[in-house]
Amino acid sequence: MQLSYKVKLYQHLLQQRHHHGWTGLLVLFFVGVLCLIAFNLPYLLDSSSKARTAEGKVYVSSLNKAQTYFYDDHGKFAQSISPLETGIPEKTQVYTYSIKATQKASFQYAIANPRGWFDKPPVTSFVGAVFLVKSGNNQEIQSISILCRNNIKGHIQPPDPVYKNGVASCPSATRIIQ
């Protein structure tokens, strides 16, 4: 009787050991996945901010081009976004868009919307400009455009770009994008 008891005990232990190794492997697997997520989390959060920032960059660049075409057709800059017929809304979840136009220049803004307590990290504001300049001997009017990015993230309107000595440039606190 005792021999059959030992055989049954060994069979039971062999069957149980078959499942014990998987538990340890599963724990190691989940710990590894959690470590990968923890190490890559800053990159993943930053990339979503970059994607949201791309909206402002693309829209202001499009508004710059639309202002150039509008001036060619009408002889003046548009005072707001709607006459440009770009389909760009004045406000999105991330940015508020606006235009300031003079006789010789037009400034297009993408101002980051203010954040609430539980909103995503802030994005960068943009300003674009189209300047009218005379060139050549016949004093033909040409347009020069520039796109500037604010150096500080958040709900901050960047200063206007300037045109001096034949060069369009971004003011301090901003950097040129195009």
pTM: 0.71
Please write the tens of the pLDDT for every residue from 122-176: 889 999 999 999 887 778 889 999 999 999 888 889 999 999 988 999 999 999 9
Higher pLDDT, 151 or 21: 151
Q: Name the range with the highest mean pLDDT among 2-6, 43-47, 90-94, 128-132.
A: 128-132
Residue 65 CB-half CA count within 13 A: 8
Cα separation, 153 vs 111, in Å, equals: 10
- Torsion sign across C-alpha atoms 73, 76, 77, 78: negative
Identify the CA nearest to 82 among candidates 71, 90, 72: 90
State the pLDDT at residue 43. 60
Q: Which residue is associated with the tokens 């300031």?
A: 100
Question: How many percent of the chain have pLDDT more than 70?
Answer: 82
Question: Residue 13: what pLDDT?
Answer: 66
The whole-number pLDDT of residue 20 equals 57
Beta strands in 2-139 (DSSP E): 95-101, 105-112, 124-135
